[in-house]
Amino acid sequence: MFSPSIRSLIEEKAGSFIIPASRIAFVEDENPLYHAFLILTKMKYSKIPVLDKNQKVVGLISLSMITDKMLTPDNIVIEPLSDLKVKDVMQTDFETINFAHTNLETQLHLLVDNPFIPVVNDNNIFQGLLTRREWIKAFNYVTHSIDDKYDITKKSDPSEAS
């Protein structure tokens, strides 16, 4: 069971743990790979969302997905950067979160295996990102505020009874 006191503390801050779409670097699926190479190199993000022209999230792309296309058995080549589009190399198997339907347990569980999860609305339109970084901040808040708001006492351990 997810602790009710911790849930309550996190819900006080609900909404502050998402990074809004307006602050996030992304590329479009029809962009040449060259463009994603530049964005990822300059922004220094390891992976970013890919949107279609309607702002729907259609994939994720990282530098290693791009550089992998540049490897040949005996050389590194730059032609794929102009020959391919983002949609040709992006990851299309990924999780999304819709705050209307995804509870805290599931959010936390998804972040074990994903550094970030795109947040979408019911029309799959990109709303922002939920990130491990923001959950580390949430955890930091919980560890420093729970004792101000709750009395916490250790339960007696039956195995320690003499």
Rounded to the nearest whole angstrom, what is the least distance from the CB of residue 88 to its own copies in the complex?
17
140 near its own copies (CB under 8 A): yes
Token pair for residue 31?
């962009």
Burial label, 44 (beta-carbon count in 10 A; 0-12, 13-18, 19+): exposed
Closest to its own copies by CB, 30 vs 105, is 105
Q: Provide the CB-side half-sphere exposure for 147 (13 A, CA).
A: 4
Strands 47-51 and 27-28, sheet pairing: parallel
- Min CB(108)–its own copies separation in Å: 5
Does 72 contact its own copies by CB under 8 A?
A: no
Site for its own copies in 31-60 (CB under 8 A): 34, 37-38, 40-42, 44, 46-47
User: Does 159 interact with its own copies (rule: CB under 8 A)?
Assistant: no
Task: Show the site string, 81-120: x = touches its own copies by CB under 8 A, - = not.
Answer: x--------------------------xx-xxx-x-----
Amino acid (1-letter code) at residue 114: N
Q: Which stretch binds its own copies (CB under 8 A): 1-9, 23-31, 49-57, 121-129?
A: 1-9
Q: Considering the rule CB under 8 A, would residue 16 count as an interface residue with its own copies? A: no
Residue carrying structure tokens 């420093």: 144
Size (the chain), residues: 162
Residues 6 or more apart whose Cβ sits within 8 Å of residue 43:
25
> Could you tell me if 58 and 29 are in contact, meaning their C-beta atoms sit under 8 angstroms apart?
yes
Minimum separation from the CB atom of position 62 to its own copies (A): 7
Tokens, residue 138: 């949430």
**Quick check: 63 binds its own copies (CB under 8 A)?**
yes
